[in-house]
Amino acid sequence: MFELGGIFEAIGKWLNGFLPPVWVTIISAVITGLAVLGFLSLLALFLVWWERKISAHMQQRYGPMRTGWHGVLQTIADGVKLLQKEDLMPKDADRIVYFWAPIICFGAAFMAYLVVPFGKGIIVQDLNIGILYIIAITTFTVVSLLMAGWASNNKWALLGGMRSAAQIISYEVPLSLAIVGAVMLAQTLSMNGIVSAQAGGFWHWYVFREPLGFLVYYIAATAEANRTPFDIPEAEQELVAGFNIEYSGMKFAMFFLAEFVNMFTVSAIAVTLFFGGWQPLFSFLGFIPSWVWFMGKSLVSVFVLMWFRWTYPRIRVDQLMNFAWKFLLPLAFLNIILVGFGIVVFK
Amino acid sequence: MTVKELKTEEFMVNMGPQHPSTHGVCKLVIKMDGEEIKEITPHVGFLHRSIEKIGENRTYAQFVPYTDRIDYVASMNANHAYVIAAEKLGGVEVPERAEYLRVIMAELNRIASHLVWLATFAIDLGAVTPFLYAFREREMILDLFEMTCGQRLTYNYMCIGGVNWDIPKEFEPKLREFLKIFPSRVDDYEDLLTNNPIFLYRTKNIGILSKETAFEYSVSGPSLRGSGVKWDIRKAESYSIYDRFDFDIPVGYNGDAWDRYRVRMREMRESAKIVQQAIDGLPGGDIQTKVPRTWKPPEGEVFTRIEAPRGEMAYHIVSDGSTKPYRMKIRTASFCNLQVLPIIGINHLIADLVAIFGSLDIILPEVDR
Amino acid sequence: MDSEGLLKYITEEYKDKIIDSGIVGGVATIEVKPGDWESIAEYLKGDMETRFLSVSNYGAVDYREKLGGYQLVITLFSYEFNHKLTMKTLLPAEGEECPEIKTLSAVWPVADWFERETAELFGIVFVGHPDPRHLMLDEDWDGEYPMRRGWSGRDFITKPDK
Amino acid sequence: MSLVRQTTNGIYNLILGLAVTVKHLFKHAITLQYPKERWTMPERSRGTVVLLSDTETGKLNCTACLMCEKACPVAAITIEREKNPETKKFEPTSFTIDMGICCYCGLCEKACNFSAIKLTGKYEMSIYDKSELIYDMDFLQKLGRDVKYEKRKRVVKKTAVKKATAKPKTTEARAESGDKKAEGTSSTKDDGDVKEKPKNETEEGKE
């Protein structure tokens, strides 16, 4: 009951009943696209509000309280405000690049959700190279940040863009290597396949098979999502606001939402790879819908990311690089070796 | 294109006057090679109000509110510095109770000032939460000030000859409550920052201020003590009644940003100790010596200095026997401390400059006056 | 050394250069000729008995009405011995004239900003100063010296319009 | 070995930090929802300046002695006065305070011998036009209507020891003015050049 996967299948069957297959494909593509977009927009709105509330309560404040119950509509109000704002462009900006940067940033964040398994059967397209696809598509973010930094024609923004390029490319390496561990264990690149490989109780989750891999992944993912302590491309205190210093109005909102969507993406991947995806904690808890499990686990992971942000200072750019190349990368290799040994010994 | 053809270029960046980490309107013109700083030129004066000239045009009593504005984060100490100078000039005796009250207020304000510094320093390094925690405790101190003198920032509490208001009835229990919980709150900050590896990486061996440089630039206050010089005017010259209290002078070893941080954190605890002793030994009696409304100190000049939260604050007042000072020179700590920034900030990354600037605890109205 | 001892030592050591000496407000004070300003500063810094490594305060007083010039006042102190010394010199000047004196910024680097401030506010020229730009005032300040007595460039008190 | 120790130490301290923030997550917020809730301002709070009137007659306590005007370091107070032919006493005809330049130092209150001017806990006086910040006599009197105050007693001799609860400035200011009277009125003269104001007609002896 309450399994959403069935609904999508039912709609597909119903459409197939009276429409030619081409139309079914087109209509279902549009519907899924809109559904994902709608879901992500709602999610981003929720996450922005949630982060504000968490940070507020960690700092013994209330956070937004006026708009709606405990300020739930605050993000919408902010969005409306940003929409009404004048869309400024610096005089000497590279107009085309400046225009496209936020769109690419948001698009990349959005595209990653094609292969995220939200629940049993709730996946847009179960690609057999799903995890590879995600790694490839999230890298677009760095391109957009670099574009934004360059096109703004501002020294601070350029520094931010350069920092982001250096950071994200460096952290992509340990991130991918940490993912390799999970792929080795599951023997598949498909997201659904990885989830099903972890079925049957929490002790089958890969976080207990390769804790080191999870640690490396999570640290690298924090950097990947530009969250404190690795938020050096933005670094308000040093670079004022980094790459998005010249952006205003809706373009800024797109960067802002993309950041939160990215944060959910890395959490969703962490859940899929290391926490059994939509699998329940114990098999007798299977009556709870799978998408509830998935969202619950992901939001816990998001909470931890927020918790980091409101606790730690920011690391410096050269230390960040040192950390990636000299610490995380060897750990990631060590993880692969250990996983390999484990597979050979316990098979 | 070969690697040899690729050229790098130094570029200039204006950090400030509107930058979140310059703590006010200070402009640093930075020459950078990539992210590395090659040259820093501070530009100050955006807040110059010529308070010295104002001092020549106000009576001695009228000038007290202006001292609040010299260092608005530690107005009590700024008040204290001025009234001590004026009293010495006119030979005014201060009642004992007033002296105790002055010490209590000055030390509380030192704590408040260090809390503001801690808050902004943490936020400079990207940690936002300690900011709110520090301000929470500062609020408690400001509440104490407000119930005593009615203001939260510019107190005008001390006057020539004593203090303007006696403490109200509910002051003492509130102060004792504050002193009781304050050490545990400092522990909280220390848990968040002191040994946090990210914080250590950001502050250890950053902006090393050697003893020699500190002497040459007359750096004073916690920034000097961070370099390992045990120098505190409260002990060395013992103005007011500081010789009656038992407290330590915390010192650092390397003179890096972390040492300056440690010195200030420990100083907060020492100040709390002084306040504890002062409130325990608070005598009764008068709070003010009668000074005629149009007070004319005798002709002469005076030089006094106190240990303000940022370091040495000195007044050089020349009197010609009239109701107004003939000349008033105010020496503030930040004015000298800011001068070492181009020396110690060089060859660091821009992120370190923010940390160094924060660790020096510069307040711009004090530089510009 | 206390103030008396310090004053005694200095007056004996630099007998021929000191015009006047005394204890003003508890601080040992000496007055020197403008020509000796820099050399005596160097001596005082290097002297192992005094070790005035730091400057506590450095400024000027406009004494044109009373003494016919500007008085430069520098208060030195020593961390090592915990004593202070005020050194003064009178720069004769009349009217809008800008007197000249040698800079101390080579002796104490901290004097750099003090002198820049004094120079722009009082119109005293410090010869040999490494960076004689304006510190507090605008770069294109019109050349008046606001800290001089009787400067009336602007009213300090604004009255509400009635 | 030291690397391992450093790493464990670092991880321990990272977790310590997380513990502090999560501990606060479950504490109650200490901030105030400002327009809905408001602080109770302490009794001595120094906000907007008001003019006090006599509780019985409703007339201003001000006797236009110009002491507050002289005490004001920023010259925010302007008083014009006239001699009442019946009582032979001065009365203020206009009393304006420019709150835009007022620095809320409280020196006017300290200078006043007649409990006529007071800094109150009112603080929400924002307006859009700067010129509206110049408060005239009627407005100041209206503001001061509901302000409770203690009228100063005419004590010429000072009391030696003050209780912590009593308002010490009351007796002091009295005593001060007593001292001053003994000195004579000449001492007020030097205040005069702060502002171009008639300086010789200070009616100190009137009280």
Question: Is residue B291 situated within a structural domain?
Answer: yes
Question: Is residue C21 situated within a structural domain?
Answer: yes
What is the total residue count of chain C?
A: 162
* Segment D62-90 mean pLDDT: 82
C-alpha span between A280 and D43 (Å, rounded): 61
CATH number of the domain encompassing residue B134? 1.10.645.10
Which of C113, C118, C139, C157 should be substituted to probe chain B, the one whose Cβ sees the most B Cβ atoms within 10 Å?
C113
Residues from chain D contacting residue B164 (CB–CB below 8 Å): 106, 110, 169
- The answer to whether B165 contacts D168, with C-beta atoms less than 8 Å apart, is yes
| Residues in chain B with pLDDT values less than 70 | 1-4
CA distance A24 to chain D (A): 49
- The answer to whether D78 contacts C157, with C-beta atoms less than 8 Å apart, is no
* Segment A260-271 mean pLDDT: 87
Number of structural domains (chain C) is 1
Which of D43, D70, D107, D109 should be substituted to probe chain B, the one whose Cβ sees the most B Cβ atoms within 10 Å?
D107
Locate the DSSP E strands across chain B.
11-15, 27-33, 36-43, 158-159, 162-163, 300-308, 311-319, 325-331
Q: Which residue in chain D is spatially nearest to B288 when comparing CA positions?
A: D172
CATH number of the domain encompassing residue C74? 3.30.460.80
- The residues, ordered by sequence, that sit 6+ positions from A319 with a Cβ below 8 Å of its Cβ are B201, B202
Question: Is residue C158 situated within a structural domain?
Answer: no
Q: To the nearest whole percent, how much of chain D has pLDDT over 70?
A: 72
Q: To the nearest whole percent, how much of chain A has pLDDT over 70?
A: 96
- The answer to whether C59 contacts B326, with C-beta atoms less than 8 Å apart, is no
Instruction: Report the amino acid identity of residue B221.
Output: G
A35 contact D CB<8A: no
Token couple for D41: 């301002």
Instruction: Report the amino acid identity of residue A133.
Output: Y
Give the nearest partner residue to B303 out of C25, C61, C147, using CB atoms.
C25
- The residues, ordered by sequence, that sit 6+ positions from A161 with a Cβ below 8 Å of its Cβ are A145, A146, A147, A148, A149, A150, A233, A242, A243
How does pLDDT run across D97-140, given as a tens digit for each residue? Answer: 888 888 888 888 888 888 888 888 888 888 888 888 888 888 88
**Domains of chain D, with CATH numbers?**
49-144 (3.30.70.3270), 160-192 (no CATH)
Residues from chain C contacting residue D78 (CB–CB below 8 Å): 159-160, 162
Question: Is residue C154 situated within a structural domain?
Answer: no
Which of D163, D169, D199 should be substituted to probe chain B, the one whose Cβ sees the most B Cβ atoms within 10 Å?
D169
Residue window 282-321, chain B: list those with CB within 8 Å of chain D. 284-288, 290-294, 296
How does pLDDT run across C115-155, given as a tens digit for each residue? Answer: 888 888 888 888 888 888 888 887 777 767 888 877 765 55
- The answer to whether B125 contacts A319, with C-beta atoms less than 8 Å apart, is no
Question: Residues D175, D178, D180, CA angle at the centre, nearest 5°?
Answer: 115
**In chain A, where are the structural domains located?**
84-346
Question: Is residue C153 situated within a structural domain?
Answer: no
Three-class SS of chain A: CCCHHHHHHHHHHHHHHHCCHHHHHHHHHHHHHHHHHHHHHHHHHHHHHHHHHHHHHHCCCCCCCCCCHHHCCHHHHHHHHHHHCCCCCCCCCCHHHHHHHHHHHHHHHHHHHHHCCCECCECCCCCCCHHHHHHHHHCHHHHHHHHHHHHCCCHHHHHHHHHHHHHHHHHHHHHHHHHHHHHHHHCCCCHHHHHHHCCCCHHHCHHHHCHHHHHHHHHHHHHHCCCCCCCCCCCHHHHCCHHHCCCCHHHHHHHHHHHHHHHHHHHHHHHHHHCCCCCCCCHHHHHCCHHHHHHHHHHHHHHHHHHHHCCCCCCCHHHHHHHHHHHHHHHHHHHHHHHHHHHHHHC
C157 contact D CB<8A: yes
Stated as kind and residue range, the H or E segment containing D36 is: none
Give the nearest partner residue to B196 out of A232, A312, A319, using CB atoms.
A312
CA distance D6 to chain A (A): 13
D158 contact B CB<8A: yes
CA distance A315 to chain B (A): 6
How does pLDDT run across C55-72, given as a tens digit for each residue? Answer: 888 888 888 888 888 888
Question: Is residue C155 situated within a structural domain?
Answer: no
Q: Which domain holds residue B238?
A: 47-333
pLDDT value at residue A4:
62
List of chains touching C (3+ CB pairs within 8 A):
B, D
pLDDT value at residue D172:
44
- B181, with CB counted inside 10 A (0-12, 13-18, 19+), is exposed
Listed in sequence order, the DSSP H helices in chain D are 2-25, 67-71, 107-111, 137-143, 168-183
Question: Residues B110, B116, B118, CA angle at the centre, nearest 5°?
Answer: 100
List of chains touching B (3+ CB pairs within 8 A):
A, C, D
C-alpha span between D62 and D111 (Å, rounded): 12
- The answer to whether B129 contacts A59, with C-beta atoms less than 8 Å apart, is yes
D78 contact C CB<8A: yes
* Segment C28-49 mean pLDDT: 81
- The answer to whether D21 contacts A58, with C-beta atoms less than 8 Å apart, is yes
pLDDT value at residue C153:
54
What is the interface size between A and D, counted as CB pairs within 8 Å?
Answer: 35
List of chains touching D (3+ CB pairs within 8 A):
A, B, C
Stated as kind and residue range, the H or E segment containing B198 is: helix B197-203
- The answer to whether B195 contacts D160, with C-beta atoms less than 8 Å apart, is no
- The answer to whether A235 contacts B125, with C-beta atoms less than 8 Å apart, is no
Give the nearest partner residue to D22 out of A62, A65, A307, using CB atoms.
A307
C-alpha span between D74 and B69 (Å, rounded): 13
Q: Which residue in chain C is spatially nearest to D193 when comparing CA positions?
A: C157
Residue D153 banded pLDDT, cuts 50, 70, 90: low
C-alpha span between A257 and A205 (Å, rounded): 31
Q: Which residue in chain D is spatially nearest to B323 when comparing CA positions?
A: D190
pLDDT value at residue B3:
65
Residues from chain C contacting residue B57 (CB–CB below 8 Å): 156-157
Residue matched to tokens 């977009």: A37
How does pLDDT run across A191-213, given as a tens digit for each residue? Answer: 878 888 877 777 778 878 888 88
Token couple for A114: 């094609």
Question: Is residue B14 situated within a structural domain?
Answer: no
- The answer to whether B314 contacts C55, with C-beta atoms less than 8 Å apart, is no
B170 contact D CB<8A: no
Residue D206 banded pLDDT, cuts 50, 70, 90: very low
Above 50 in pLDDT, residue D161?
Answer: no
C-alpha span between B137 and B182 (Å, rounded): 8
- B334 Cα distance to chain centroid: 8
Residue D154 banded pLDDT, cuts 50, 70, 90: low
Question: Is residue C84 situated within a structural domain?
Answer: yes
Number of structural domains (chain B) is 1
